[in-house]
Structure 1
């Protein structure tokens, strides 16, 4: 069978299997094993365990469970509530200050936890009721938190960036740095839209009636600063050449656990067990997907599907930006139905040779891909963050949450356009800190 036609068949079968409700990892293994048996015989089954475990034999993967423990220890405390309250106290007299506080808290908490659902839950529980009480429209209150939660997969340290780095053999340190300025750009766009739409509504919520003294503003800072210092310390150790990402992640995880125990009195063995249990579950899920995606990639390569697709696209006489537009449409559609980790592991190894052949920077493309995945987190039918917000505020209809999040999707699309016109926003900081890529 022609490899391109076979690739289409594999794609359709994969989509059908994943839509059946089967887990992503098991689905990839079933599809890979089935096609390898059909076209390569039963002997291919003897290779699958070796490929599965070989994909996990990478020291860089140790950073994933460590960063997850780091985020889980933060999410299990009142750090999110304290972070929200600290920003609210400092920005209370700024027009639209409450929505800015929520978005700022989402950005900082997502950087500390690296988890979109955890960010939505932690900040949303405090922020949504308060914004609604102050008179903010339900769409702004819910949509801003749903969008702010997506920042966790872009702002470092990001588990998604680690997965991309492992899948494409790209420097994780560069990827982390590449997400900093685009993350700040998205935060600025989110804040600008939220303030404008609040002001346009002519609502009294623009200015808060609450006034906090300087003493009240400073007294909450000691509860927040340790976590922020840990994040800064982890990034400094990584980029200062002191330690590898995996080593800094391990130290960061230990420090976050200690801070949670000392500041938030999380001494109970039961509470610590919950943190480690949930972290283990999430880590195993991600690592299982990575291993299964390795088998899936081997199947595509063994049947010459990857090579044929890359060769076919290379022969197309189209403008490289038309090609990038088609790639973005593909990523958007994939992100609507699959989690970011699965999309990256399945698509990145195929797309990267095409992108680099077209003259695009792989570090820049990682940021573009990640923003596409962020859009998927607040877009139906999956839209994980939408359902998290609906669980926090069940009296806000899902339709209202979706409508409130759509302008933020527009902000993300605008960010992709800006990054396409000015790619240096993503590549300047990595080149400055780590030197120009060869």
Structure 2
């Protein structure tokens, strides 16, 4: 059978199996085993266990559970509430400062926790009622938190970037650095739209909450700065050549646990058990998907599907930006239905040879891919963040939350366009810190 036709069959059955409700990892294994048996014989299954476990034999994978523990220990405390309150106290005199505070808190908390739903829950529980009380439109209040929560998969340290680096054998350090300026760009675009939206609605005159003394502004900082210090310390150790990403992640996880215990009195063994239990569940889920995706990639390569697709696209007489536009549409649609980790692990091995052949930087492409995944988090039909916000504020309809999030989707699309016009936004910092590779 022609490899391209076979590839279409694989795509159809993969979508069918995943939409049947089977977990992503198990679905990939079922599809892989089925096609290997039919087209390569039963003997091909002998290699599956070796590939499955071999994919996990990677030292860099240790950083995933460590960064997840960092996020879980932060999410289990009042760090999100304190971060929100600190920014609110310092920005209270800024017109529309509360929405800026919420977006800033989302950016910082999502970078510390790496979890989009946790960010929406932690910041939204305080931020949404407060914004509504002071006259912000419901759509702005809900949409800004839903969009702000997506920033964690781009701003370092990002588990999504680690997964991309492992799937494509790309430097994780470079990927972290590549997400810094695009992350700040998105924060700036989100804040600009929020301020414009509140000004246009005529509510800017009711947004100030009074004033805080300098003592009140400084007294909350000791509860927030240690966590930010850990993040900066992790990044410094990584880029200063002091330790590997896995080593810095382990130290960061230990420090976050200690700070949670010391500052937030997280002494109860039951609370610590919940942190470790939830971290283990999430880590195992991600690692299982990585292992299953390795088997899926082997199946695609063994049946010459990956090579045929890359060769076919290479023969197309189209502009490379038309090709990139088609890839973005594909990623956008995939992100509507699947979690970012699953999309990256399934698509990256296929897309990497295509984009490199077309002359695109894989580090730059990682940022574009991640922003596409962010769009999926606040877009139906899945749109995980939309449902998290609806759970926090059930009196705000899902339609209103979606309406409030759509302008932020537009901001993300603008960011992708800017990255296409000025790729240095993503590649300049990695090249300066770690040296140019081109």
Q: What interval of TM-score do these two structures reach, taking the shorter chain for normalisation?
A: over 0.9
User: Map of 1:73-152 to 2, 5 A cutoff?
Assistant: 73-152=73-152
User: Map of 1:226-265 to 2, 5 A cutoff?
Assistant: 226-265=226-265
Structure 2: unaligned runs, 5 residues or longer: none
TM-score by length of 2: 0.99
Q: Is the 8 A contact 1:88 1:101 kept in 2?
A: yes
Shift of 1:210: 1.8
CA distance in 1, matches of 2:12, 2:330: 14
Deviations 1:200-241 (A, max 9, x none): 111155531321111100110000000000000000000000
CA distance in 2, matches of 1:285, 1:279: 10
CA distance in 2, matches of 1:87, 1:209: 13
Q: For residue 412 of structure 2, give the secondary structure of its aligned residue in structure 1.
A: helix
CA distance in 2, matches of 1:131, 1:425: 32
The structure-2 alpha-carbon separation of the partners of 1:422 and 1:349, relative to structure 1 and needing over 3 Å to count, comes to: same
Q: What CA RMSD, in Å, does the superposition of the two structures yield over aligned residues?
A: 0.6
User: Map of 1:129-278 to 2, 5 A cutoff?
Assistant: 129-204=129-204, 207-278=207-278
User: Map of 1:303-314 to 2, 5 A cutoff?
Assistant: 303-314=303-314
CA distance in 2, matches of 1:209, 1:234: 36
Structure 1 residue ranges, 4+ long, deviating more than 6 angstroms after superposition: none
Q: For residue 47 of structure 1, give the secondary structure of its aligned residue in structure 2.
A: helix
CA distance in 1, matches of 2:134, 2:285: 40
The reply on whether 1:378 has 2:378 as its aligned counterpart is: yes
Counterpart in 2 of 1:20?
Answer: 20
CA distance in 2, matches of 1:25, 1:158: 21
Deviations 1:282-334 (A, max 9, x none): 00000000000000000000000000000000000000000000000000000
CA distance in 2, matches of 1:399, 1:418: 29
Counterpart in 2 of 1:403?
Answer: 403
CA distance in 2, matches of 1:141, 1:204: 13
TM-score by length of 1: 0.99
Q: For residue 224 of structure 2, give the secondary structure of its aligned residue in structure 1.
A: helix
Structure 1: unaligned runs, 5 residues or longer: none
Q: Is the 8 A contact 1:135 1:205 kept in 2?
A: no
